[in-house]
Amino acid sequence: MKAFQELSKEELLALREQLTAEYEDAKGKGLKLDMSRGKPAVAQLDMGNEFLDALNSQSLLKAEDGTDVRNYGMMDGIPEAKKLMGDIMGVPAENVIVCGNASLTIMYDTVSRSMTHGVLGSTPWCKLDSVKFLCPVPGYDRHFAITQHFGIEMITVPMTPQGPDMDLVEELVAEDDSIKGIWCVPKYSNPQGYTYSEETVKRFANLKPAAKDFRIFWDNAYAVHHLYEDRQDELADILGLCAEAGNPDMVYEFCSTSKISYAGGGISAVAASKANLDELKKSMTIQTIGHDKVNQLRHVRYFKDIDGIREHMKKHAAWMRPKFEAVLRVLDEEMGGLGIGQWTRPNGGYFISFDAMEGCAKAIVARCKEAGVVLTGAGATFPYGKDPKDSNIRIAPSFPTPEDMAMATDLFVLCVKLVSVEKLLEQK
Amino acid sequence: MKAFQELSKEELLALREQLTAEYEDAKGKGLKLDMSRGKPAVAQLDMGNEFLDALNSQSLLKAEDGTDVRNYGMMDGIPEAKKLMGDIMGVPAENVIVCGNASLTIMYDTVSRSMTHGVLGSTPWCKLDSVKFLCPVPGYDRHFAITQHFGIEMITVPMTPQGPDMDLVEELVAEDDSIKGIWCVPKYSNPQGYTYSEETVKRFANLKPAAKDFRIFWDNAYAVHHLYEDRQDELADILGLCAEAGNPDMVYEFCSTSKISYAGGGISAVAASKANLDELKKSMTIQTIGHDKVNQLRHVRYFKDIDGIREHMKKHAAWMRPKFEAVLRVLDEEMGGLGIGQWTRPNGGYFISFDAMEGCAKAIVARCKEAGVVLTGAGATFPYGKDPKDSNIRIAPSFPTPEDMAMATDLFVLCVKLVSVEKLLEQK
C-alpha cells in the first residue's frame, strides 16, 4: 500500500469508510486491555516468588558486618546491599545509599530538600524567584510531576537516539543560573528506549552550569533490563566521568529493584559523591530511623550478586521479548511505509515510543479507549501533559500477554489509520 | 539514710570520699552497657521470627480485595492493613493510610509538605517569617530534630502526669497564629510514660487556635505497648473527639509496628480526616509508586487482627517488665528518700524519666559514660538539646538484659549520688 499522503481525496474517503466499519466491528468485540503503565505482568512476578523464601524464621538475620537487620540503625544500608545496588549502577559501594521501596521517593525527597534547604549550602530553592529544570522529551511523566508539584518551571529539550540535544543543554545551563537540574533516563529511556551515547555522557559530565547547585538527576531505572542477549546497550559511568571532569558533585544517580524483584516490594538506591551523600544523610537521619534492612537482606540472599541479577533478568527478558516483538511485528506489517507513524525498536527497558502524524495522538488514544484498549494518556510524555505536536504515544507492552498485545496493537493500528485519514481529509 | 540536703558539710565530704572510691572501683569493672535508645532487645526480636514465615513462595499474594501485593498501585495500603493499623489506633480503617517502615518519615514528610505547600490551602510555611511549634517537655528528641531541621521555633510546655499544661497550650495557640503545631506522645509518653487524661484529650480536641493551619501531631507510638495485664492506661480517641468538637482537620495521628514486629522492618500509618488524607495522598502519589504492600500483607497474615497484636504484645511485656522492674527496684532501694532524684513508674512504653537535682544531669551522664554505661545525652529530651534545669535523664531499659539493667542502674545510682554530693558541697 502506498503512503497515505499520496492518496487522493476519493481514495481517502473510501479508506475512511472501510476503516470506520472495521473500527465499529472492533468495538463490538468488548476488548479490555491495558497498555498504559510499565507494570510487570503476573507471570513475570510469579517467576520470582522464591524471593520470599530467601528469608524465614531459621535464617541468620545478620548482615555480613554483624548488624542485626531486625533492629534500628544503619542509615545507609547493609554493606552487601550497597555493593549489589552499586554493581547494578556500575559504581563503588561507598558511593551508594540503599533506601526504601521506591527510587521515585529519593528523587522527590531530593527535590523537596533542595527547596527547603538548598544544595550544599546554596540558597533554598523556595527562596528563589525562579527555579527551572530541563526535561528531555518525550520523557517520564512521574519526573515531570515532581517538578510541577514544587512549582519548578520545566523547559523541554528534544531527545535524539544518542540522548538529549547536548548543544542545547550546554547552552541553556551555561547561560541561566535558575536552571537547577535535568531529568534523565539515560539507559533504555522512557519512552523511546534510547541509551545515551558515550559522547553524550561525557558532555554531561563536562557541563559548565551557571548554577553551582545544578544537578543531573540520572534515573538509571533500566540498567539491567535488556531484551536480548546479543543486543545490549552499554551506558558510560556518569559518576566516574563527573569526578574525572572535576564535577564530582554534579550528579545523583538512582536505581531500584522494582522491576527486578517486586514492583513496590523492592529496594532502591542513590549513588553520588561523598559530599552529596553526607548532605543527604544529614536529613535522612532526621527523616527516618533507617530503611527496611530485612528487605535489603532478602534481596542479597536471593540474588546473591550482580551475576544473580543478570541471570534473573534473562528470565525477565524471555517474558518481555515476545511482547515487544508482537507489537513491533504488527506495527511493521500493518503500518510500514504508510507515512503515518514512526516507532522505536529498543534493546531493553519497558516502552516503545510511537510518533503519529502531528495533531493525531489525542484522537488515537481516545479512539483506542472507546474500543477497550487503554494507552498512556497522550501528552503524558511531556511536561504539563502538553505535547506541542500532539504526536507522541507511549506503548507499554509489559503487562498484557503477547497474544493480548498483538490484539491491542491491531486495534491501535486501526485507530492510527482512521485518525490519520481523518486528519488528511481535513487538510484536503 | 537521711536526705542529702540534711547532711552537714563534714558528712558530705565523708560521703564523697566513700562514693569516689566506689566509683573508681566500678570504673575498673569494664562495663559496656547501652541504655540510650528505645531499641528492642535481641531476645524480644527472636521471639517474633515466625513473622518471616507468614509469607513464602506458596502464599496467595493477594490482598482481600484481590489486589496483587507484588505490583504497583494502591496508594493508601491494602484494606486489611488499614483495618489492622486503624484498630491499633482505635480509629476507622477509612481514616487510615498505611505507609512505609517508619512513622517518623510520615511526620517529617508532613512538616516538609507544610513548608513547601501549606496546609489545606494555607500559605506555605516557608513563605512565613515565623513558624512555631509547641513542645511538651520532656519529650522525644526525634520530634524536636524535625522541627529544628526546618527552622521552626520551638516553645516548651511543661508536662504533667495528665499531659501537657493545657492552660498554657490553650492560651498560646489562641493568641499566636504563628504557632502551627504541637508534638504529642499521648500514651506512655516519651520519656515519662504518662498517658494524657480524658480531660486533656478533650481540651486538645476543643482547642481554638488562631492559626487555621494549626495541627496536633499525635504520635501514638505506644498504643499497645503495655507492661502489665492488670494496669493498663487508656487513651481517648482524639480523632473522634476532634470531629465532635467541629475540628475534624486539626489532628494527624501516627503509629507503627516498629516496636511490634521489627524495628525498621515494620509498617507505619497515619490517621486523619478525609480532607487531610486527600491532601496527603495528593503529594504521596507524586512521591511514591505505593508503599511496600508485601510487607503489609506479611503483617496481616502473621498478626491476623488486633487480638493477635494484643497477644503478641503480652509476650513483649513479659520481656520488658523485668527490665523496668530491675531499674525501679534499684532506684527505690538505693535512692528512696534521699531527695536527690525523682522518677516515673510507667504502665507501658519504652522509658523511665529521671529528674536529678538541678544542674546535675550532664555531669551524671558523663560520669556514667566514663564508667561504661551509655545513657541518652542529657538535654536530649528538650528542644535544641537544652534542658534549662539540666535535670532530666531518659532511661531506656529495653535493650540490655534485666541483669545488665540492674548493674547499669547500680552504676547510675552511684553517679547520681556522687554528682549530687558534689553539687551540694559547691553550695556549702
* Contact: B45, A108; criterion CB under 8 Å: no
Closest-CA residue of B relative to A113 is B112
* Contact: A150, B116; criterion CB under 8 Å: yes
Residue whose C-alpha is closest to residue A411's, from A380, A355, A371:
A371
Work out the mean pLDDT of chain A and round it to a whole number. Answer: 96
A35 pLDDT band (50/70/90 cuts)? confident
Tell whether the model's pLDDT for residue B291 goes beyond 90: yes
For chains A and B, count residue pairs whose Cβ atoms are closer than 8 Å: 167
CA distance B383 to chain A (A): 14
Report residue B88 as a C-alpha cell: 491499633
Residue whose C-alpha is closest to residue B142's, from B182, B96, B108:
B108
Tell whether the model's pLDDT for residue B264 goes beyond 90: no
Using a CB-CB distance cutoff of 8 angstroms, which residues of chain B are in contact with residue A286?
108, 142, 145-146, 149
Stronger pLDDT, A10 or B48, i.e. the higher one: A10
What's the whole-number mean pLDDT along residues B108-113?
Answer: 98
All residues at 6 or more sequence positions from A67 whose CB lies less than 8 Å from its CB, including other chains: A73, A74, A78, A293
Does the interface ipTM go beyond 0.90?
Answer: yes
pLDDT at residue A7 in the model: 96
C-alpha distances (whole Å) from B402 to each of B26, B312, B319, B345, B355 are: 19, 20, 9, 16, 22
* Contact: B52, A56; criterion CB under 8 Å: yes
- Of the residues A42, A50, A52, A219, the best mutation for testing chain B's interface (the one with the most B CB atoms within 10 Å of its CB) is A52
Instruction: Say which of B42, B70, B288 has its CB closest to residue A104.
Output: B288
pLDDT at residue B73 in the model: 87
C-alpha distances (whole Å) from B97 to each of B73, B81, B253, B277, B296 are: 13, 9, 11, 8, 12
All residues at 6 or more sequence positions from B311 whose CB lies less than 8 Å from its CB, including other chains: none
pLDDT in tens, A377-420: 999 999 999 999 999 999 999 999 999 999 999 999 999 999 99
Residue whose C-alpha is closest to residue A105's, from A348, A280, A282:
A280
Q: Over the range B210-230, which residues count as b (16 or more CB within 10 Å of their CB) and which as e? A: ebebbbbbbbbbbbbbbbeee
C-alpha distances (whole Å) from A372 to each of A28, A366, A420 are: 10, 10, 20
Instruction: Say which of B70, B72, B108 has its CB closest to residue A287.
Output: B108
CA distance A6 to chain B (A): 45
Tell whether the model's pLDDT for residue B34 goes beyond 90: no
pLDDT at residue A70 in the model: 95
A36 pLDDT band (50/70/90 cuts)? confident
CA distance A319 to A41: 9
pLDDT at residue A37 in the model: 84
B113 pLDDT band (50/70/90 cuts)? very high
A237 pLDDT band (50/70/90 cuts)? very high
B27 pLDDT band (50/70/90 cuts)? very high
Question: What DSSP letter does each residue of B13-48 carry, written as one string?
Answer: HHHHHHHHHHHHHHHTT---EEESS----HHHHHTT
pLDDT in tens, A174-206: 999 999 999 999 999 999 999 999 999 999 999
pLDDT in tens, B316-334: 999 999 999 999 999 999 9
pLDDT in tens, B90-104: 999 999 999 999 999
- Of the residues B45, B46, B101, B146, the best mutation for testing chain A's interface (the one with the most A CB atoms within 10 Å of its CB) is B101
All residues at 6 or more sequence positions from B185 whose CB lies less than 8 Å from its CB, including other chains: B139, B140, B143, B219, B220, B221, B222
Element (H, E) at A239: helix A238-244
Work out the mean pLDDT of chain B and round it to a whole number. Answer: 96
Instruction: Say which of A68, A124, A264 has its CB closest to residue B289.
Output: A264
Using CA atoms of B334, B340, B346, B350 in order, give the dihedral in degrees to the nearest 10: -90
pLDDT in tens, A217-228: 999 999 999 999
pLDDT in tens, A260-296: 999 989 999 999 999 999 999 999 999 998 999 999 9
* Contact: B265, A294; criterion CB under 8 Å: yes
Closest-CA residue of A relative to B70 is A262
Residue with cell 493551619: B213
B48 pLDDT band (50/70/90 cuts)? confident
| pTM, 2 dp | 0.97
- Of the residues B42, B69, B72, the best mutation for testing chain A's interface (the one with the most A CB atoms within 10 Å of its CB) is B72
* Contact: A292, B265; criterion CB under 8 Å: yes
Q: What percent of chain B has pLDDT over 70?
A: 100
What's the whole-number mean pLDDT along residues A6-18?
Answer: 96
Tell whether the model's pLDDT for residue A44 goes beyond 90: no
Q: What percent of chain A has pLDDT over 90?
A: 93
pLDDT at residue A385 in the model: 97
Identify residue A126 by its one-letter amino acid code: C
pLDDT at residue B129 in the model: 96
pLDDT at residue A259 in the model: 95
Instruction: Say which of B40, B71, B126 has its CB closest to residue A40.
Output: B71
pLDDT in tens, B347-363: 999 999 999 999 999 99
Q: Would you say A298 and A331 are in contact if contact means Cβ atoms under 8 Å apart?
A: no
B36 pLDDT band (50/70/90 cuts)? confident
* Contact: A73, B286; criterion CB under 8 Å: no
A338 pLDDT band (50/70/90 cuts)? very high
Tell whether the model's pLDDT for residue A1 goes beyond 80: no
pLDDT at residue A8 in the model: 96
CA distance B294 to B296: 5
CA distance B289 to chain A (A): 7
Using CA atoms of A415, A417, A418, A424 in order, give the dihedral in degrees to the nearest 10: 140
pLDDT at residue B37 in the model: 85
Tell whether the model's pLDDT for residue B1 goes beyond 80: no
* Contact: A70, B145; criterion CB under 8 Å: no
pLDDT in tens, A90-103: 999 999 999 999 99
Identify residue B191 by its one-letter amino acid code: P
pLDDT at residue A183 in the model: 98
Using a CB-CB distance cutoff of 8 angstroms, which residues of chain B are in contact with residue A149?
283, 286
Closest-CA residue of A relative to B108 is A287
